[in-house]
Amino acid sequence: MTNQKLNTMGQEFGRRSWAEPWKIKMVEPIRLPGKDERKQAMIEAGYNTFLLRSDKVYIDLLTDSGTSAMSDRQWAGIMMGDEAYAGSRNFYNMEKAVQTFYGYKYVVPTHQGRGAEHIISQSEIQKGQYVPGNMYFTTTRMHQELAGGSFVDVIVDRAHDPSDQSPFKGNVDLDKLESLIARVGAEKIAYVSLAGTVNMAGGQPVSMQNVKELRALCDRYNISLYLDATRMAENAFFIQENEEGYADKSIAAILKEFCGYTDGAWMSSKKDHLVNIGGWVAVNDEELFDKLRNIVVIYEGLHTYGGMAGRDMEAIAIGIGESTQDDHIRSRIGQVRYLGELLVNWGIPIVRPVGGHAIFLDAKKFYPHIPQDNFPSQTLAAELYLDSGVRGMERGIVSAGRDPETGDHRRPALELTRLAIPRRVYTQAHMDVVAEGIKAVFDARDKTKGLKMVYEPQYLRFFQARFEAIE
Ligand code: F0G
């Protein structure tokens, strides 16, 4: 294990020795709205960055989902769209790419990740069953609950500690999983829900060792193991960098090996695959495939398009190949780390090690004087927009929602504001501007008060909740 190199700052990040493996062919103008315009926009948006119009945003780090820049090859693929209702050639290209790079046998297309989550949850969860996983993700858990399951977090404890520097904070704690099995019985476990570079933990990866041990445990109890492969190519980078025996293996080889320990996966192609829309579920079991292929026609579309246009599937087919290239991943994660390094050097509290897709500001440390009930991460996202037109998102108590049993807020240990970096979109100069904006908000932190929630929707409240500033 080379985690020693994570111990000191300079060594953690290294000096950048990469440059993007592409040059820019087309640009999209962006504009910084004036201070008063930003203030007005924030009030109209109820202090929720999801409710801002994107025209009012200067640098948009709301999400890395569907926001990537496609390559000239992907755009060329778009022109090759075969918009047949059934049997589009683009589906077969996508299916082949999934089989080649992920190794699963059967592929069912969906319009995006949550469509895939919906059909796998409906197929594989019986009412009253448990779904253990390495930290919840908002839409994933929602679909598991809607299917009658209860999500149980079995991630390692250190995932909840933003300052713990260990390299694989996305790992499953096998003891936690085993004690759940002992408590409820293996037949009450629907499946294990494993995610690569765990989003809510700060983009923290899972080690190959962990998935191997997990596979063995699941085999012992005859439990299925499904993977949220949304950012699994990025997870492969961390294995290559930090796990013994993988330094000389390619991202593509590591990705395929990892998936080989699982029974199937769902995917939001909007992340790793460098496209604006799309997703899939892929499995090895033929019976389950039949079930998924049948359900998909109710909710998504025929099993050879699943809610996507033919051209979208072609862009995914090409994007899968590009997403697994070593130099792509290196520069992608290199850019995220560049931003992280600037912030750490200024003493700004962030989740470390820096993960794959985003910088997560530690809002608890940023605003120690704002109680969790006044939404420190929501406040920080709003303040950053007000300062510099940069849009991030809340990943704390608002995102965690309410406990369906008690109706109380779930109070996550992590209270984070996420700045997700779209792939191949912004330059290093944009990262400098973002860092300076965060610094300005940090310097003014003592004067900042929290927010109160004035409107709360029933499902996935973080998307549409509204707030007012506490005066
Ligand atoms: N799984 C993970 C780990 C995700 O991050 C997402 C989406 C999904 C599933 C659902 O996929 O959006 O295509 O329906 N994450 C986005 C984000 C929304 O900003 O992190 P989707």
Interval 280-298: pLDDT, tens? 999 999 999 999 999 999 9
**Confidence label for 17 from pLDDT (cuts 50, 70 and 90):** low
Residue whose token pair is 């991943």: 329
User: Which among 323, 354, 387 is the end of a domain?
Assistant: 323
Contact yes or no for 374/391 (Cβ under 8 A): no
Whole-angstrom distance, CA of residue 361 vs CA of residue 377:
8
> Is 312 a residue of the active site?
no
For 137-160, the pLDDT digits (tens) are 999 999 999 999 999 999 999 999
Q: Report the separation in Å between the CA atom of 143 and the middle of ligand 1, taken as the mean of its atom positions.
A: 12
Query: For this structure, is 417 an active site residue?
Result: no
pLDDT at 13 over 80: no
pLDDT at 169 exceeding the cut of 60: yes
Pocket test for ligand 1, best of 110, 198, 199, 276 (most atoms within 8 A of CB): 199
Is 305 tagged catalytic?
A: no
14 occurs within a structural domain: yes
Are 240 and 311 in the same domain? yes
Does the annotation count 271 as an active-site position?
yes
Per the residue annotation, which of 60, 228, 263, 312 is the catalytic one? 228
Single out the residue in 306, 323, 340 at which a domain terminates.
Answer: 323
CA of 118 to the centre of ligand 1 (A): 13
> Of 2-6, 257-261, 381-385, 389-393, where does mean pLDDT reach its minimum?
2-6
| 194 and 175 fall within a common domain | yes
Name the DSSP class of 402: B
**pLDDT tens track for 297-344:** 999 999 999 999 999 999 999 999 999 999 999 999 999 999 999 999
The confidence score (pLDDT) of residue 18 equals 72
- Atom from ligand 1 closest to the CA of residue 63: 19
Query: In the Cβ-directed half-sphere of 102, how many Cα atoms lie within 13 Å?
Result: 35
Q: pLDDT tier at 394 (50, 70, 90 boundaries)?
A: very high
Instruction: Determine contact, residues 203/234, Cβ cutoff 8 Å.
Output: yes
Return the best residue to mutate from 131, 230, 235 for the ligand 1 pocket (most ligand atoms within 8 A of CB).
230
CATH assignment at residue 34: 3.90.1150.10
65 falls within a domain: no
- The answer to the question of residue 67 being in a domain is no
pLDDT of residue 2 exceeding 50: no
CA of 400 to the centre of ligand 1 (A): 15
* Mean pLDDT score of the chain: 95
**What is the rounded average pLDDT of the residues 109-133?**
98
For helices 310-323 and 326-345, what crossing angle results, to 10°?
Answer: 70
Q: Are residues 31 and 167 in the same domain?
A: no
Distance from the alpha carbon of residue 110 to the mean position of ligand 1, in angstroms: 13
**Contact by Cβ (8 Å): 159, 198:** yes
Given a cut of 90, whether residue 266 has pLDDT beyond it is yes
pLDDT per position as a tens digit, 78-108: 999 999 999 999 999 999 999 999 999 999 9
Distance (Å) from CA 138 to ligand 1 centroid = 8
Q: 19: pLDDT confidence band, cut at 50, 70 and 90?
A: confident
Kindly report the backbone phi and psi dihedral angles of residue 315, in degrees, each rounded to the nearest multiple of 5, phi listed first: -60, -35
Q: Considering 91, 104, 137, 168, which one is annotated as catalytic?
A: 137
Residue 139: which domain range?
72-323
**Most informative mutation of 198, 268, 399 for ligand 1 (most atoms within 8 A of CB):** 268
80, 95: one domain: yes
> Do 89 and 36 belong together in one domain?
no
- Res 5: pLDDT: 40
Give the residue from 292, 323, 354 where a domain finishes. 323
Is residue 45 assigned to a domain? yes
Task: Name the DSSP letter for residue 419.
Answer: E
For the chain, how far is it from start to end, CA to CA, in angstroms? 50
Burial grade of 287 (CB within 10 A; 0-12, 13-18, 19 or more): exposed
- Please state, for a pLDDT cut of 90, what percent of the chain lies above it: 95
If one counts every other C-beta atom within 10 angstroms of the C-beta of residue 338, the result is 20
| Together in a domain, 111 and 199 | yes
pLDDT level of residue 38 (50, 70, 90 thresholds): very high
Distance from residue 228's CA to the centre of ligand 1 (Å): 10
270 and 369, same domain (yes or no): no
295 and 405 part of one domain? no
- In 10 A of CB 45, how many CB atoms? 18
73: amino acid identity, one letter: R
94 and 36 in one domain?
A: no
Which listed residue (271, 293, 424, 461) is catalytic?
271
- The answer to whether 395 is a known catalytic residue is yes
Q: Per-residue pLDDT for 278 more than 90?
A: yes
Span 46-57, pLDDT tens digits: 999 999 999 999
- The pLDDT tens digits of the residues spanning 411-466 come to 999 999 999 999 999 999 999 999 999 999 999 999 999 999 999 999 999 999 99
To test ligand 1's pocket by mutation, which of 137, 226, 267, 394 has the most ligand atoms within 8 angstroms of CB?
137
Q: What sign has the CA pseudo-torsion 325, 250, 253, 2?
A: negative
Q: Are residues 338 and 447 in the same domain?
A: yes
- The pLDDT > 70 percentage for the chain reads 96
CA distance 155 to 198: 10
CA gap 283, 303 in Å, rounded: 14
Query: Cα torsion for 284, 285, 291, 294, to the nearest 10°?
Result: 40
Q: What are phi and psi of 356, to 5 degrees?
A: -85, -40
Kindly report the CATH number assigned to the domain that includes residue 295: 3.40.640.10
Q: Are residues 105 and 239 in the same domain?
A: yes
Contact 193, 180 (CB under 8 A): no
Banded pLDDT at 3 (limits 50, 70, 90): very low
Mark whether 20 and 35 lie in a shared domain.
yes
CA dihedral 141, 333, 65, 155 (to 10 degrees): 0
Q: How many domains does the chain have?
A: 2
Residue 317: what pLDDT? 98
| CB-based pocket (< 6 A), ligand 1 | 63, 65, 112-114, 137, 139-140, 195, 199, 228, 230, 268, 270, 279
**Which pLDDT belongs to residue 471?**
85
Tell me the CA–centroid distance for residue 23 and ligand 1, in Å. 28
H helix or E strand, kind and range, residue 191: none
